[in-house]
Amino acid sequence: MEYTLEVRGVSLRFGGVRALTEVSFGVKPGELFSIIGPNGAGKTSIVNCISGRYKPTEGRLFYRGKDITGLNPNARPSLGIGRTFQNLALFHHMSVLDNIMVGRHHLLKNNFITGSLYWLTGARREELDHRRKVEEIIDFLDLQSVRKATAGTLPYGLRKRVELARAMALEPQLILLDEPMAGMNFEEKEDMTRYIVDLNEEFGMTVVMIEHDMGVVMDISHRVTVLDFGRKIAEGDPATVLADPHVKRAYLGEEDEALVDPDDVPLPRESAA
């Protein structure tokens, strides 16, 4: 079985803090894969390793058989890896439209010279072609009414959606969603869940999602992996994972013989996105 993404024995240390310890898992093509775990378990850290924000201290990452461990973050979109952030990371002073257009960066060919000469070099036509693609995403995510709004003025739920739109504009094969539903109300969560399922089924993207809402995770994930204190403690289909005694203990806070006594371990800091 060829994995779309394979994480092989990844460890990440910040000085004395061990954010991740020998985490391994594989994501199959077309899968909707969730990573769950209590706060500070290292979920965002592993996603940061995949998207290139962090370099793992040990271990390797493979994307479609290619080693991407040391690859620069800005080289990853053209391979087909896109992501959203846990804490909103939109370009606040740009319009929603421009935010999404930034996602087309690696697909556009015009540069500062041809771009400046707009009418003479075909940059205009190229921009308009990509505008059409962006409008399809806007249509899909129902952002028509805010396309010219400044991103920083939008309410939270919409910003999350704009961020998803921006990641979609990269046309990734693998999309990493870091808590796409955090802080949303029930209705917004329902919409977002539908979008994620559509990304997976209609657009054929492989999805890796971090999420705290167990209902959503259990409903839509094909497979789930559970992290606690930087270690993988369980993996499998949602039902198996829910029934796993380690997972129950991790979430209910009982002592687990699979881990060191939590009270003696310094809590790994939840790394900022």
Where does this chain bind another protein (CB under 8 A)?
51-53, 72-78, 82-83, 85, 89-94, 98, 101-106, 108-112, 114-118, 123-124, 127-128, 131-132, 135, 145-146, 148-150, 153-154, 158, 166, 170, 273
**Encoded amino acid at 81, one letter:** I
Q: Which residues of 135-148 are buried (b: 16+ CB within 10 A; e: fewer)?
A: eebbebbebeebbe
Closest contact distance (angstroms) between CB of 49 and another protein is 13
Closest contact distance (angstroms) between CB of 12 and another protein is 17
Closest contact distance (angstroms) between CB of 208 and another protein is 14
Question: Which residue, 35 or 250, is less far from another protein as judged by CB?
Answer: 35
C-alpha count within 13 angstroms, C-beta hemisphere, residue 142 = 9
Closest contact distance (angstroms) between CB of 23 and another protein is 21
Closest contact distance (angstroms) between CB of 14 and another protein is 17
- Nearest-10 Cα torsion for 158, 160, 161, 166: 130
| The pair of three-digit structure tokens given for residue 35, joined into one six-digit string | 């990573």
Please provide the size of the chain in residues.
Answer: 273
Write the CB contacts of 230 (distance below 8 Å, at least 6 apart in sequence): 12, 18, 19, 20, 21, 23, 41, 42, 45, 268
Distance from C-alpha of 150 to C-alpha of 41, rounded to nearest angstrom: 34
Distance from C-alpha of 51 to C-alpha of 95, rounded to nearest angstrom: 25
Question: Which residue, 73 or 204, is less far from another protein as judged by CB?
Answer: 73
Question: Which residue, 100 or 233, is less far from another protein as judged by CB?
Answer: 100
Contact status, residue 66 vs residue 5, Cβ threshold 8 Å: no
Report the SS3 class of residue 2: coil
Question: Which residue, 91 or 203, is less far from another protein as judged by CB?
Answer: 91
Distance from C-alpha of 13 to C-alpha of 23, rounded to nearest angstrom: 13
Closest contact distance (angstroms) between CB of 228 and another protein is 27
Question: Which residue, 74 or 185, is less far from another protein as judged by CB?
Answer: 74
CA neighbor of 63 nearest in space, from 74, 52, 79: 79
Question: Which residue, 105 or 194, is less far from another protein as judged by CB?
Answer: 105
Question: Which residue, 60 or 131, is less far from another protein as judged by CB?
Answer: 131
| The pair of three-digit structure tokens given for residue 81, joined into one six-digit string | 């890896």
Closest contact distance (angstroms) between CB of 42 and another protein is 19
Question: Which residue, 36 or 169, is less far from another protein as judged by CB?
Answer: 169
Closest contact distance (angstroms) between CB of 253 and another protein is 33
